[in-house]
Structure 1
Amino acid sequence: MIIYNITINIDLSVHDKWLLWMKNKHISDVLATGLFKNARFVKVLVQEEEGATYSVQFFVDSRDKLNEYYKNHAPKLRQESLELFGDKMLAFRTELEVLDEYFHAEN
């Protein structure tokens, strides 16, 4: 399992518009590619002077599917975010490989 993680810092001047777009459009658009199993959207809990930081994590079964996303879908989806939010949004991407998962015995 691979987690495609995008960490985004969003300027407060467009925060509310961006948050609605993420929840109601962008995450759904990425999942609609059919390549990812699920997604998790979280707020990074740090106090910042400017903006707010979030992370969206998309879970994918294989490197091949992630590469297909990069090749056939990512450019269009990234372009849309640039057109809507431009320099009010700073994003960086990380790929994480899940090695093991552990749970509390009562879960």
Structure 2
Amino acid sequence: MLLYNVTLILDDAAAEEWLQWAQDIHIPVVMATGLFVSHRLLKVLDSPNEGITYCVQYVAESQEQYNQYLNIHAPALQEDLNTKFKNRFVAYRTLMEFVG
């Protein structure tokens, strides 16, 4: 099992709009791909960064499913994010494997 973590640091003024968009539109679209079995949305409380930090975590059952998401769906979804919130966030992504 793999955990795909997307961390976003948002300008204060964009955070509420992003949160609503993520919950209502983005996360449902990602989950509708059928490539992830679950997700979580978290707010980082002790971030050293300016702005508001959120993490969206998606669980994939295999590397193949993650790669399929990355190659087929991620480019358009990331472009949508970049267009809607241009210059109002920084994002980084990590892939982790469950070990215990």
Q: What TM-score do you get using the length of structure 2 for normalisation?
A: 0.95
Aligned match of 1:14: 14
Aligned match of 2:71: 71
Q: Report whether the alignment pairs 1:83 with 2:83.
A: yes
Give a deviation string over 1:18-72, Cα, whole Å, max 9, x none: 1100111111110010100010000111155731001110000000000000110
CA distance in 2, matches of 1:38, 1:28: 11
Larger Rg: 1
- Identity, % of aligned pairs? 38
Q: Post-superposition, which runs of at least 4 consecutive aligned residues in structure 1 deviate over 6 A? A: none
Structure 1 segments unaligned to the other structure (5+ residues): 101-107
Structure 2 segments unaligned to the other structure (5+ residues): none
Question: What is the Cα-based RMSD across aligned positions, in Å?
Answer: 1.2
CA contact (8 A) 2:7 2:53 kept: yes
CA distance in 2, matches of 1:94, 1:49: 18
Q: What TM-score do you get using the length of structure 1 for normalisation?
A: 0.89
CA contact (8 A) 2:38 2:58 kept: yes
